[in-house]
Amino acid sequence: MNGTQVLTEAAGRISGLAEQLKNISPQQLNAHLGGHPNAIAWQLWHTGREIDIQVVEMTGGTEVWESVGFAEKTGLGAKGTELGLGHSPEDAWAIHGEDPRVFVEYAQAAAQVLVDYIATLHDDDLDAIVDDRWDPPVSRGTRLVSIIEDATIHLGQALFILGAIAD
């Protein structure tokens, strides 16, 4: 396997993790374990946002949040356009919804855009600097690993919350 094949394999697992949450109830979607502000809805939403925003920064494309109308579908409107990084507890509590499937669909749609983007790359493309706001500057490969890691962490947290609140 080469580098892009490994990234494709890893990114391809995001959708399957999200799929495990598609049949939860609205109450489970909005559950706040131990009073923590990040519900399953927030975890799914943030997973989609962090993928969507960062891939668009590299491709110059359009976010699926906008192109597929997830602001309306989730009922989040303008408050859903943020990334979620640095959310206050009040901001995080505001991320909730009625239809878990829509939140899952958003995470999966963003994950598919990520997989499709990686499929356009060659190993030589991974060394290109995509963000010079950091020291050291961030390469495309490092950014892709970071996106996949963050998605996996947040979906794992969502599954943990679901397990912890199960009857």
Q: What pLDDT, on the 0 to 100 scale, is given for residue 95?
A: 97
What is the average pLDDT across 152-157? 98
Domain spans in the chain, listed from the N-terminal domain onward = 3-165
Q: What pLDDT, on the 0 to 100 scale, is given for residue 59?
A: 97
Quote the longest CA-to-CA distance of the chain: 50
Global pTM? 0.96
Q: pLDDT tens across 31-90, in order?
A: 999 999 999 999 999 999 999 999 999 999 999 999 999 999 999 999 999 999 989 999
Contact between 93 and 64 under an 8 Å Cβ cutoff? The reply is no
3 SS3 class:
helix
Query: What tokens appear for 160 in the block?
Result: 């943990």
Check pLDDT > 90 for residue 166: no
Query: What tokens appear for 71 in the block?
Result: 């602001």
Q: Is the peptide bond before 26 cis (omega within 30 degrees of 0)?
A: no
pLDDT band at 119 (very low <50, low <70, confident <90, very high): very high
Phi, psi torsion values for 76, nearest 5 degrees: -85, -25
Q: What pLDDT, on the 0 to 100 scale, is given for residue 90?
A: 96
What is the average pLDDT across 115-140? 97
CATH for 3-165 is 1.20.120.450
